[in-house]
Structure 1
């Protein structure tokens, strides 16, 4: 699917020292609790270790780390991706001296994997008199300020170092963790009269590759996709799109028992009530082949596949393609059709389709790919495709994954919009993000854990807030990676079990269709993020609690009259590493999530408090109505001439600004134009 080395370069820069967050992410970062947390590694030396030792007091099933230094330089050293020094304030753990006690130990931090040793501190000064106790546990709390003598933005290793001058008796450690101060309760102000944009249903998409097998015939999978709220499925799948010649598979061929052809894929769309997004084979195909596919789907059959793109990641050397040059991709050469020719041939068959081109995230990467394709795009082209994955393989940092959506998507989309405005100013091309997820290759186990639920929900919020026209997570079914992860929302190696990330879609589908302006006092990247929207029956709020404590947020509903009640839809995990979540309090939710009643919310007022569960995504639906109409710009209770004047002025000075478009986009075409001003004027009655 993806083999993008450039993302590794992005992240080497994005998370370099100096990019650290200024507020805590997790109130507790587990290091060892009966087992070593998956994002920590053992880099010890000169020790005999057992990470699965029985607790010396309680025995099984409790576990601890047994540590015995074998020389005077021994050390238990645990390593993590760089941790911002501002994220936590205390190292906490329990220590047991075995039958002897009295071990002499130093604790120190390192600011890098191979250096940056900070001055060690003697453990005994944080213990009761007598030091490490024999035959008993003692709790230890060491302020990080005591361990960081030198100014540094982050640290990477924690070491318990032998200071006795030789080998000594074994001791035990357990419940090792970093803790942060409790954050201030979030304050949310929802501006019900300030619409940002409409929420097109095409945002709730995923991918379904032809090599997924005959998933269209699996009743359990079909039921789970239908219940997810996913609205669009992209086909035939990532890099394989540029090796896929559709007519070799459709109608059915004897050798396709392992695959899913166009006819079978459309049956999946119909069974799940989803739309299709098709990727034409650019790398080894032709404009005529793509046009014939449009003929097959939209003329020979009335399947109404509206959105098509030309090729997949053609800029990359990992793709099967005759060119990786942006200009050649658009213009073609003497023996190959370019994307402009593809588009013309496809629209000659069905002028109603929308056609997109492969895009890059900025004007310089891949030898200026973005500049080249936009400068050479014909008027036929309708949208610009981007792909983004947050982490390289091997990075198992919960912090970096959770911080990524609000930390990177705003800048990415701003850069893309700058490119569109600079190199295709008259085109008004839409942005389609039809591949996104956590890892660009070889996903880690984090993909199967609660952390990915929070990550995907926040990513969807950023795509919606950033004005993306359509988006597709990769993917509904994939396969187990060598790292123990899987991109799929459903696991084909585990009876199509739903991963926590699956639940991000039904929670977003409970939201309204008009995104609203929202002020959030919390740090969205590290603690608590939130989004709000108007629905036909009231106000909706989706909030993501990234901490291990319930957060009591105060909600201030401006220009909205609540009726006093509401409901909550909640997916929550016991920890970030949990591989299952509860839904509305049900630990084993049925396939039909609609049969799980939402949780009641009472006491809803213009200002009220709601407690968001730890490690959760919550959608609140609050009954009531806005106190002013969309055309009443100043919310004075009537649509008057000053409102029309203000609307026209804002249209003129904010064209293309998504902060205004949705509220005044009367014809819902995604842009604020003179048509909308005229419509507003026609509705105004003096």
Structure 2
């Protein structure tokens, strides 16, 4: 990093004493606290982010002309030190993604929902949705002749195939063309999961070739609209349609049970066909992901799961452009307390990335970009998934995704099914009592304000040992600092901000998101700067026009974190002008 010269610093002092900031010029100018100013220098792009930063764009923050005056605390009990000059990574816009699915209906016909998704700016929407991807025929409206009428389950019994079709235009589902309309209407791009299961259960003479053609034809139809693709969904697992096949129907000698080596062989065939199709339509920048296990498998899981990474990575021959991982963070279907849920993002994300990178290096593979394109929590029984706590959890996930330098992240999912509150959907799907279809859940508001107040570079922020909270710091290209706080504790805390290599401006702005008193510690509501919902769940309908709190900054920069809250802050820089 470069330090300003003595002459430059002298000019800065003159500027501070001779002129006022051009923002809110009627306010008194602050006195700079730290005379040592180092320049920002962007680090090299991490291999785990890679090409997901290719579409990076500078982001500025326009200080609000209208705000609600508020006070900042004088007495503090914890300190956060932010180093403006220490850039950890540029922020890829692809971390804000989400998932669509086939059972949530025609999202595109719900105008308020489309407006909310557009405001959210997911940038990436994955499709067609989880395990359904491996029984999905994008170009059909009924069973193709080379697909069986029954599929084999993990236990060896058979069930009706239950295939899903991209040409089904009924109102209860979303057709492929509806999906493309949703992308266009929300200014989003896609990440598409192609049907790998067909390469296994297909009854044609060459099922792998049939699956490769199905995928390549989709790339042709897509015609350059989509850059990111992946082959199969969680195919290491016994719940996927590809896991076990009826060998009596198979005509190319495949084994009954899938393994990572066989997937790697099929991946290379399917990916080659997709790349040829992409080149033919002028989309030479297509990226294709392979599916990895994200953590050390439990002892009760099948051998396919346990040996997946080793067999996959020893045979993939670096043909994958990136690796796909999923994580639902909390223990499966346990009634976890809020304190347990909120502790998972930091540890689990770091452990996951260490595990995955070690799997690559130990098998002689290069580190490539990662896409965490399904994430949420598994906790059930107390409406955890639709709660303000899960909104706080979402903020923590986004922050840890950035700190661990993951290139793409997509939350599961836009809409799901109520199930008495065991519902991963960010929006109600119309089956929640007294709540209209498309009504946003708390996680929506937390993610909306996180992105609104997060800049284009993640910068260093360190907290002292006082307080059970997390902080993520960023900078905007116009010089302001953006901060995201999550207070995991059940008591309020006041934070002093020490800003290094930064000339503090005149004002700071912030939004405070808290829960309500309904449903114990898992409130289904979110209150934003004192504004709550009119319904029994969700947040304020006027979230886009709620005024931020604001305070003049004198010799003190601090913030209050209420109990169990997310707080999003922007601090102006001193825009200096030399007066002669």
Measure, in 2, the Cα distance between the counterparts of 1:292 and 1:502. 35
Q: Give the conservation status (yes or no) of the 8 Å contact 2:77–2:466.
A: no
- Of 269, 274, 278, which aligns to 1:346? 274
Count of matched residue positions in the alignment of Structure 1 and Structure 2: 429
Preserved contact between residue 527 and residue 540 of structure 2 (Cα < 8 Å): no
Equivalent of 2:515 in 565, 570, 573: 573
Q: CA deviation at 1:422?
A: 2.6
Residue 186 of structure 1, CA deviation: 2.4
One of 393, 399, 403 as aligned partner of 2:333:
393
Which of 411, 434, 450 is matched with 2:388 structurally? 450
Output aligned runs, 1:70-85, within 5 Å.
none
Task: Pick one of 612, 623, 629 that aligns with 2:572.
Answer: 623
In the alignment, which residue of structure 1 is the partner of 2:262?
328
Aligned to 1:260, the other structure's residue is in SS state coil
Query: 1:313 and 2:234 equivalent?
Result: yes
Q: Residue 291 of structure 2 corresponds to which residue in structure 1?
A: 358
Aligned match of 1:288 in 203, 206, 213? 213
Name the SS of the counterpart of 1:563 in structure 2: strand
Alignment of 1:198 onto 2:90: yes
Structure 2 match to 1:461: 399
Aligned twin of 1:613: 562
Please say if 1:374 is aligned against 2:313: yes
TM-score, L = length of structure 1: 0.60
Alpha-carbon RMSD across the aligned residues, in angstroms, is 2.4
1:280–1:625 CA distance, 2 compared to 1 (3 A): farther
Distance in 2 (CA, whole Å) between partners of 1:274 and 1:592 is 23
CA contact under 8 A between 1:330 and 1:340: conserved in structure 2?
A: yes
Deviation at 1:448, TM superposition (A): 1.4
How many Å apart are 1:237 and its aligned residue? 0.2
Q: What do residues 24-46 of structure 1 show as CA deviations (whole Å, max 9, x unaligned)?
A: xxxxxxxxxxxxxxxxxxxxxxx
Structure of higher RCO (CA pairs closer than 8 Å, 6+ residues apart): 2
The one of 517, 520, 538 equivalent to 2:463 is 520
Partner in structure 1 of residue 529 of structure 2 = 584
Query: Displacement, 1:257?
Result: 3.6
Q: What residue is the counterpart of 2:552 in the other structure? A: 602
Residues 1:529 and 2:466 aligned together: no
Partners of 1:328 and 1:396 in 2: CA distance: 38
By percentage of residues, which structure has more strand? 1
For residues 593 and 393 of structure 1, the distance between their equivalents in structure 2, rounded to whole angstroms, comes to 32
Paired position in structure 2 for 1:545: 487
Q: Point out the more displaced range, 612-621 or 259-268.
A: 612-621
1:376-397 C-alpha deviation (Å, 9 max, x unpaired): 1134311111111123213232
- Give the Å deviation of 1:185: 2.3
Superposition deviation, residue 550 in structure 1? 2.4
Give, in whole Å, the separation in 2 of the partners of 1:407 and 1:421: 21
Is the partner of 1:435 in helix, strand or coil? strand
Gap change, CA 1:424 and 1:475, over 3 Å in 2: farther
Cα offset, 1:586, TM superposition: 1.7
Which among 187, 193, 218 is matched to residue 273 of structure 1? 187
Aligned-partner Cα distance in 2 for 1:583–1:484? 22
Q: Partners of 2:339 and 2:523 in 1: how far apart? A: 16
SS in 2 for 1:220: helix
Closer/same/farther in 2, CA of residues 252 and 370 from structure 1, 3 Å limit: closer
Contact 1:359/1:370, CA 8 A, preserved across alignment: yes
Q: How many angstroms does 1:254 deviate by? A: 6.0
Seen in structure 2, the aligned counterparts of structure 1 residues 200 and 252 have a Cα distance that, compared at 3 Å, is: closer
Q: Determine if contact 2:461/2:473 at 8 Å carries over to the other structure.
A: yes
Query: 2:297 and 2:286 mapped to 1: Cα distance?
Result: 30
Flag structure 2 segments of 5+ consecutive residues without an equivalent. 1-75, 143-164, 200-210, 246-256, 279-283, 299-304, 534-538
Offset from partner CA, 1:543-581 (integer Å, 9 cap, x none): 001223321001110111111212112222135321111
Rounded Cα–Cα distance in structure 2 between residues aligned with 1:360 and 1:252: 28
- Once the two structures are TM-superposed, the CA of residue 231 in structure 1 deviates from its matched residue by 1.7
- State the secondary structure of the residue aligned to 2:314: helix
| Contact 2:168-2:174 at 8 Å conserved across structures | no
**Deviations 1:346-393 (CA, angstroms, capped at 9, x unpaired):** 111113111001101246662221122222113431111111112321
Summarize the Cα distance change of 1:349–1:255 in structure 2 as closer, same or farther, 3 Å threshold.
closer
SS in structure 2 opposite 1:594?
A: coil
CA-CA distance at 1:431 after TM superposition: 0.8
Q: Secondary structure at the match of 1:210?
A: coil
Distance 1:255 1:555, change over 3 A: closer
- C-alpha deviation, 1:504, in angstroms: 2.2
Higher gyration radius (CA): 1
Aligned 8 A contact 1:200 1:470 in 2: yes
Give yes or no for the alignment of 1:437 onto 2:376: yes
Conserved in 2, the CA contact under 8 Å of 1:385 and 1:434? yes
**Residue 383 of structure 1 contacts residue 431 of structure 1 at CA under 8 Å; is this kept in 2?**
yes
Residue 343 of structure 2 is aligned with which of 403, 415, 420? Answer: 403
How much does 1:316 deviate?
Answer: 0.5
CA contact (8 A) 2:168 2:175 kept: no
Distance 2:375 2:228 in 1: 18
Q: Distance in 2 between matches of 1:254 and 1:535?
A: 44
What is the alpha-carbon distance in structure 2 between the residues aligned to residue 235 and residue 625 of structure 1?
A: 44
Q: Is the 8 A contact 1:393 1:444 kept in 2?
A: no
> What's 1:27 paired with?
none
Distance 1:450 1:273, change over 3 A: same
Q: Is the 8 A contact 2:473 2:482 kept in 1?
A: yes
Q: Distance in 1 between matches of 2:574 and 2:233?
A: 44
**CA distance, structure 1, for counterparts of residue 473 and residue 188 of structure 2:** 25
Change over 3 Å in CA distance of 1:402–1:359 after alignment to 2 = same
1:226: Cα distance to partner?
1.3
Compared CA separation, residues 534 and 604, structure 1 to 2 (3 A)? farther
